[in-house]
Amino acid sequence: MGIPILIYGRSGTGKSRSLKNFGEDEITLINVESKPLPFRKRFKYTINTDQYGKIMEALSKTPSDTTVIDDAGYLLTNMFMRGHASRGTGSSTFDLYNDIGDSFWKLIKFIKTLPENKIVYIVMHEEQNDNGAVKLKMLGKLLEQKVCVEGMVTIVIRCMCDEDRHYFRVTNNGADITKAPEDMFGKPESG
């Protein structure tokens, strides 16, 4: 079974920048927004697309065991922006939100059908809900209230920064969705 891993954080916390640590032929990069990376290195296997069919085809054929979908949140946004004006109102708009939710859900389910050596990092932005809890930035109630995307995966890593450093947090602080299997990363540093 392929392994989907969520990486999330605010803009500027180092999500895309962390890819610099991979070798040029070590990963397949699916660049949803076709935006330049924040470093000079380029990856041998790069696909610029926000089309689910092309992404799933790339995941099936990639020679690398690691794929990064950066920034997967724009799969939702771009589908909405392309369809919201042409759908009209009422049930047509409801159908658009269903299509958006269904497509993203199917992508995660598809990743799980890949061979067990395949790891797919799904990079997304975060937002705070009305209670101050941090969650994935989603679009529509289907994914937020019916699916619980972070519940579909075992590993959810939060990208963070402070004045001096960028880092990944792998343990839940009680107000976010970060999680990892027990002892996967050892004990967190204190201080």
Tell me the residue range of the domain where 129 lies: 3-169
On whether residue 181 sits in a domain, the answer given is no
Who contacts 39 (Cβ-Cβ below 8 Å, separation ≥6)? 17, 19, 20
Q: What count of Cα atoms within 13 Å lies in the side-chain half-sphere of residue 184?
A: 11
On whether residue 189 sits in a domain, the answer given is no
On whether residue 132 sits in a domain, the answer given is yes
On whether residue 180 sits in a domain, the answer given is no
Q: Is 78's pLDDT higher than 60?
A: yes
C-alpha–C-alpha distance, residues 84 and 30, integer Å: 25
CB-based burial label for 101 (10 Å; 0-12, 13-18, 19+): buried
Phi, psi of 188 (to 5 degrees): -65, 150
On whether residue 188 sits in a domain, the answer given is no
> How does pLDDT run across 5-60, given as a tens digit for each residue?
999 999 999 999 999 999 999 999 999 999 999 999 899 999 999 999 999 999 99
On whether residue 161 sits in a domain, the answer given is yes
> How does pLDDT run across 65-75, given as a tens digit for each residue?
999 999 999 99
On whether residue 177 sits in a domain, the answer given is no
Q: What is the CATH number of the domain that holds 162?
A: 3.40.50.300
Q: Total structural domains in the chain?
A: 1
Q: CA 67: distance to chain centroid?
A: 11
> How does pLDDT run across 142-185, given as a tens digit for each residue?
888 899 999 999 999 999 999 889 999 999 999 999 999 988 88
| pLDDT band at residue 87 using 50, 70 and 90 as cut-offs | low
On whether residue 187 sits in a domain, the answer given is no
